Chains A and B, each alone.
Chain A
Amino acid sequence: MGTQNRLSISEDLTIYHALEHKERLIAALDAGDGLELDLSQVGEIDTAGLQLLILAKREAARRDKALAIVAHSPAVRQTLDFCNLAAFFGDPVVITAHEQR
């Protein structure tokens, strides 16, 4: 297997940065055979951000590349949970003890 790119996103995944994020994601996906996304620094995610993640996942599948979210911030995790998309992404999610409800 070739290169595994790793992309850390530290800004909010919101509509305000949607354009840049899309370009970065697609570029990162183009650059390697697989992409690891580190979302642990994402403070906020809205529908635009969520869409981009879905797009990236779908795009990766189309090109037969692997896309994995290796770290979720609480906001990302909650949003994916809420939209019932955890299975769609299929990434292991770490739930820390004090976050359990």
Chain B
Amino acid sequence: MDELTSVFIQEGREQLQAMEAGLLELEQRPDDHDNINGIFRAAHTIKGASGVIECHFIESFMHKVENVLDRLRNGEIQVSGELAGLLLRCCDHLGILMDVLAAGIAEPAAEVSLAGDALQGELAAHTSDATATAGGSVVEAEADVEASGGGVVNTDSWHISVRFGPHMLRGGMDPLSFLRFLASLGEVLAMETIPDAMPAAAEMDPESCYLGFEIRLQTRSSKADIERVFDFCRDDCELRILPPNSKLAEYVKLIRELPEDDMRLGEMLVRCGALTQSELDEGLLSQQQVRLPADAVAPPQPLGEILVEHKVVQKEVVDAAVSRQAQVHEKKAVEARLIRVQADKLDQLIDLVGELVIAGASANLLAQRSGQGELVESTSILSRLVENIRDSALQLRMVQIGETFTRFNRVVRDVAKELGKEIDLVISGAETELDKSVVEKIGDPLMHLVRNSMDHGIEPGDVREARGKPRRGRVELNAYHDSGSIVIEVVDDGAGLPREKILRKAIDKGLVQPNQTLSDQEIINLIWEPGFSTAEQVTNLSGRGVGMDVVRRNIQGLRGSCEVASVEGSGTTFTIRLPLTLAIIDGFLVGVGRAAYVIPLDMVIECIELKGNSAERDFLNLRGEVLPFVRLREMFEVDGERPARENVVVVQYAGQKAGIVVDQLLGEFQTVIKPLSSIFRHLRGIGGSTILGSGEVALILDVQTLVQRNARREERDMNTPAMLRSTSQN
């Protein structure tokens, strides 16, 4: 695939996204003109660009879409739910067509083409009935442009001749900005400035505009597009547009109609490449002969008639033109501040930074051993810089989660329609940033949760009203940062999880013994078990019982966790916690025996000494609070005697605190996370490994599992009679 095509696909998808977002908005606010223009612009850009790369199947499809949008924009047809739905399906189809193009296939497969034809048929319905009712004045004009414009394949240039009226400047408009905007439609091959209308210095009013321009523009835009550039000043300028490959006679006519001296203007046209000198001579000569009688008979045509004759009077709403130009300017300003970088280049950079961190750690260690003060000082400066580089490199990969969230607008709309429920999606924290690789993988699990909430959670409107809730259901997507992780919540205000039903089902499936007593939370957590579903009927959305366990596994694969909380009758909250980054973290290095372990620094709250009197217990009194702890020495069965002094590292995860008992505290350490091989995948309590400055390997503790292990044991202990407690400890 050539570069142009890949750029097209990338930008096309962005436009497609913009179009989809606009269409979703359209349903909410059908009268928003800016929005309709935005949709049209996106569609038009895709069409134009597909023409440039000569991808005709997209071009012709988008042409039909554009026609309908054009009618919509001109107020000839009204926005309806059905029309918006149709246009959204067109967006989907366009997405498929882009996939086809991206795959490098010349033509879409037969069934795709069929689907496209069907959509085009539906679109045609919206074009034709409007023609019948509205008289089709625009269609006529469009046909005219097509005929004289020579279509998109013609790459020769347009000739645009414009004379700005004297009041332009006083009206606050700058002709140059129109011309710059015109230049953005294509390439200006040549431009001549015509100052002839300017009187001598004494009479010249510096606040009047006297300039005119002859422009050769190479573009794939249509005549209507070129005219649209001048929409805003249409009343105050004379505009003539000659399509590519116009006949000599048309240029001669142009020369005669313009106020400047014929020869002078002819010269200008020659200079900007519209005509050759001999053509000009010949043309003017032949015109000269018919000129006198013509002038004698007919008085000079009024401006209006000329404009009508030139088919330039296609009045557009002025504010639309203003807002479009403003938006284009804004977009350009934003674009200028962004650079596209390939993702693998970034990954490579992160890898290198990782190596740099490791190498820096070893240099630090050697410097400290050497005992040379200056060397230690310089390496410490170095390591500070490395830390900064690490942070900025990781920052590069951070993206806002908003884009992932906004996709759900469409999902919620479609699914709600399908289910016959009324559901609003509320998004908050869209600007929360997290690692790009995490964002890419979080989409599917989120999709599952959102669909589940809509299908199982939110009740139908009537039921909701009967229960005294607002008729419209509500699904929320929230994101925020919390102690070194990002938290994503999927909240619904539906019926909540039915505990009774879950328990019954679990007993049926043999997951739980009938006589077992379970806490409420334990019952709710059963939904994460493989093959569990309580939906009475299987819909194509959810209820097949493959889902929640897959969701959980996917999230755990990202070193994250997910929890569910639910209040029967008032809703369910799914909480996903994910690490901010998958590559490098600030770690806290601890030692047990001869081995070193790393605890993510974000989770460490404090370090205290383990008093001798708690030696045989698994909890301690932390300022009046019970703090359960684990002994790493026992957990990993490290050989050797306990040292005289042990330390407790207090960690916090998801609001729960726990202690980790270690021999030594070795201090902060920049940790490059190296994933463990898949053999160790099922190892509990270890999140990865890293390389120390000395070249030794240290294991990274999975604090989440450790904390949860503690929490579970606590829960179990509370439910177990006291006499059994001693045996349950391990």
Contact (Cβ within 8 A) A84 B206: no
Contacts of B145 in A (CB 8 A): none
Pick from B176, B192, B200, B272: contact of A47, CB below 8 A: B176
Contact (Cβ within 8 A) A83 B198: no
Contact (Cβ within 8 A) B211 A47: yes
**Does B195 sit at the interface, judged by CB under 8 A?**
yes
Known: A46-B176, A54-B198, A79-B176. A15 touches B193 (CB 8 A): no
Contact (Cβ within 8 A) B207 A47: no
Contacts of B183 in A (CB 8 A): 82
Pick from A48, A59, A85: contact of B201, CB below 8 A: A59
CB distance from B260 to the nearest CB of A (A): 15
- Bound CA span A59–B211, Å: 16
Contacts of B200 in A (CB 8 A): 59, 62
- Bound CA span A50–B272, Å: 20
Task: Name which of B167-175, B220-228, B350-358, B669-677 contacts chain A.
Answer: B167-175
Contacts of A85 in B (CB 8 A): 193
**Does A72 sit at the interface, judged by CB under 8 A?**
no
Q: Is the interface of B mostly helix, strand, loop or mixed?
A: loop
Contacts of B198 in A (CB 8 A): 51, 54-55, 58
Within 8 A of A (CB), among B194-233: 195, 198, 200-201, 204, 206-207, 209-211, 213
Contacts of B272 in A (CB 8 A): 84
Contacts of A62 in B (CB 8 A): 200
CB distance from A81 to the nearest CB of B (A): 10
Contact (Cβ within 8 A) B209 A83: no
Q: A-B contact count, CB below 8 Å?
A: 70
Contact (Cβ within 8 A) B213 A83: yes
**Does B611 sit at the interface, judged by CB under 8 A?**
no
- Bound CA span A79–B170, Å: 20
Contact (Cβ within 8 A) B193 A83: yes
**Does B160 sit at the interface, judged by CB under 8 A?**
no
Contact (Cβ within 8 A) A84 B193: yes
**Does A77 sit at the interface, judged by CB under 8 A?**
no
Binary CB contact string for chain A from 32 to 70 against chain B (1 if under 8 A, 0 otherwise): 000000000000001110111011001100100000000
- Bound CA span A79–B174, Å: 13
Contacts of B193 in A (CB 8 A): 50, 54, 83-85, 88
Within 8 A of A (CB), among B272-292: 272
- Bound CA span A23–B193, Å: 23
Which residue of chain B has its CB nearest to the CB of A48?
Answer: B169
Binary CB contact string for chain B from 155 to 196 against chain A (1 if under 8 A, 0 otherwise): 000000000100011100011110110010000001111010
CB distance from A65 to the nearest CB of B (A): 12
Contact (Cβ within 8 A) B175 A22: no
Which residue of chain B has its CB nearest to the CB of A26?
Answer: B201
Contacts of A26 in B (CB 8 A): 201
Which residue of chain B has its CB nearest to the CB of A88?
Answer: B193
Which residue of chain B has its CB nearest to the CB of A62?
Answer: B200
- Bound CA span A6–B369, Å: 71
Contact (Cβ within 8 A) A54 B195: yes
- Bound CA span A58–B210, Å: 14
Pick from A21, A51, A82, A84: contact of B211, CB below 8 A: A51
Which residue of chain B has its CB nearest to the CB of A14?
Answer: B174
- On chain B, the number of residues with a Cβ less than 8 Å from chain A's Cβ atoms is 27
- On chain A, the number of residues with a Cβ less than 8 Å from chain B's Cβ atoms is 23
Pick from A21, A58, A82, A84: contact of B195, CB below 8 A: A58
Contact (Cβ within 8 A) B201 A46: no
Contact (Cβ within 8 A) B179 A82: yes
Pick from A50, A59, A84: contact of B190, CB below 8 A: A84
- Bound CA span A62–B201, Å: 10
- Bound CA span A83–B188, Å: 10
Known: A48-B207, A85-B193. A55 touches B201 (CB 8 A): yes
Contacts of A84 in B (CB 8 A): 190-193, 272
CB distance from B692 to the nearest CB of A (A): 46
Contacts of A59 in B (CB 8 A): 200-201
Contacts of A48 in B (CB 8 A): 169, 206-207, 209
Known: A58-B198, A82-B191, A83-B191. A51 touches B210 (CB 8 A): yes
Which residue of chain A has its CB nearest to the CB of B201?
Answer: A59
Which residue of chain B has its CB nearest to the CB of A21?
Answer: B206
Contact (Cβ within 8 A) B206 A19: yes
Which residue of chain B has its CB nearest to the CB of A79?
Answer: B176
Contacts of A58 in B (CB 8 A): 195, 198
CB distance from A93 to the nearest CB of B (A): 16
**Does A7 sit at the interface, judged by CB under 8 A?**
no
Contacts of B175 in A (CB 8 A): 47
Known: A58-B195, A59-B200. A46 touches B206 (CB 8 A): no
Contacts of B168 in A (CB 8 A): 47
Contacts of B211 in A (CB 8 A): 47, 50-51, 54
- Bound CA span A4–B164, Å: 35
Contacts of A18 in B (CB 8 A): 169, 206-207
CB distance from B113 to the nearest CB of A (A): 43
Which residue of chain A has its CB nearest to the CB of B271?
Answer: A84
CB distance from A54 to the nearest CB of B (A): 5
- Bound CA span A19–B206, Å: 6
Contact (Cβ within 8 A) B169 A82: no
Contacts of B201 in A (CB 8 A): 22, 26, 55, 59
Contact (Cβ within 8 A) B176 A50: yes
Which residue of chain B has its CB nearest to the CB of A60?
Answer: B201
Q: List 9 A-B contacts (CB under 8 A).
A: A21-B206, A46-B174, A47-B176, A51-B206, A54-B195, A54-B211, A62-B200, A83-B191, A84-B272
Q: Other than the known A51-B209, A55-B198, what 15 A-B pairs have Cβ atoms closer than 8 Å?
A: A15-B174, A15-B207, A19-B206, A22-B204, A46-B169, A46-B176, A46-B177, A47-B169, A47-B174, A50-B193, A50-B211, A58-B198, A59-B200, A82-B191, A84-B272
Could you tell me which A residues sit within 8 Å of B by CB distance? 15, 18-19, 21-22, 26, 46-48, 50-52, 54-55, 58-59, 62, 79, 82-85, 88
Q: Which 4 A-B pairs have the closest CB atoms?
A: A18-B206, A22-B206, A83-B193, A54-B195
